[in-house]
Chains A and B, each alone.
Chain A
């Protein structure tokens, strides 16, 4: 099974500053036949459904603000929030869907400094 490891576990960033969350997979999630990374990012806020932010490692879901971006390939990935807003306080998860079973990172809690 593929193990996903996020860093850091928690992060405090000032409003308007950049937030960066990392995700590492125990094996590559890049599928060579289509050159796609099977990696997604989700946002979880209390009392709300999880929200898909990014898929294929860097494709932003419709309606997601463009301050959210994803990058990386193979085993190392990053979610970046370019200018932190108060509403971005949440827990963020990466997920690989390259293999069955799919697997999630342990989550990164993002707070305001």
Chain B
């Protein structure tokens, strides 16, 4: 069964850092693009970042220069390093897989919650 399991969320102060992880199973992780999408409380879905199977990265303007997406294909794990966090980064963060960076996302995780507050 294809599964994605996010972890690493929590409460962090403004300006702080956090690293999210997404453990993948049930498919050949290295062959797929992986994406982070977030959902602020009571709001809709916002694309954050995508990494291709080959490591090419894409970022939303709102996180560019602060967030870094990466992957460890040997560990079947996706990461999101979040620095200089702001209150507006508070959200549930989901990871999702797709065949290509420019493609629909066919499997999603349940998400991990990030709260940025003093």
Can you list, as one digit per residue, whether each of B100-113 has a CB less than 8 Å from chain A (1) or not (0)? 01111111111100
Residue numbers in A under 8 Å from B44 (CB-CB)? 93, 104-107
Beta-carbon contact of B45 and A104 below 8 Å: yes
Question: If A100-B101, A100-B102 touch, does A49 touch B109 (CB 8 Å cutoff)?
Answer: yes
Tell me the A residues contacting B by CB distance below 8 Å.
38, 40, 42, 47-52, 55-56, 61, 93, 95, 97-98, 100-107
User: Mostly helix, strand, loop or mixed at chain A's interface?
Assistant: loop
Beta-carbon contact of B103 and A97 below 8 Å: yes
Residue numbers in B under 8 Å from A51 (CB-CB)? 108
Residue numbers in B under 8 Å from A61 (CB-CB)? 106
Complex: chain A residue closest to B48, CB-CB: A101
Q: How far is the CB of A12 from chain B (nearest CB, A)?
A: 19
**Residue B58 lies at the interface, judged by CB distance under 8 Å to chain A:** yes
Residue numbers in B under 8 Å from A48 (CB-CB)? 110
A-B contact count (CB 8 A): 55
Contact of B96 among A50, A56, A98, A101 (CB under 8 A): A50
Q: How large is the interface on B (under 10, 10 to 19, 20 to 34, 35 or more residues)?
A: 20 to 34
**Residue B4 lies at the interface, judged by CB distance under 8 Å to chain A:** yes
Q: How far is the CB of B81 from chain A (nearest CB, A)?
A: 19
Q: What are 28 A-B residue pairs whose CB atoms fall within 8 Å in the complex?
A: A40-B104, A40-B105, A49-B108, A49-B110, A49-B111, A50-B94, A50-B105, A51-B108, A52-B104, A52-B106, A52-B108, A55-B104, A55-B106, A61-B106, A93-B45, A95-B45, A95-B105, A97-B103, A97-B104, A98-B102, A100-B102, A101-B47, A102-B102, A104-B44, A104-B46, A106-B44, A107-B44, A107-B45
Residue numbers in B under 8 Å from A104 (CB-CB)? 44-47
Complex: A41 Cα to B4 Cα, angstroms: 20
Can you list, as one digit per residue, whether each of B60-89 has a CB less than 8 Å from chain A (1) or not (0)? 100000000000000000000000000000
Beta-carbon contact of B102 and A47 below 8 Å: no
Complex: A61 Cα to B94 Cα, angstroms: 20
A sample of 13 more A-B contacts (CB under 8 A), given A98-B102, A104-B44, is A49-B4, A49-B110, A50-B45, A50-B96, A52-B104, A52-B106, A55-B104, A95-B45, A95-B104, A100-B58, A102-B47, A103-B47, A105-B44
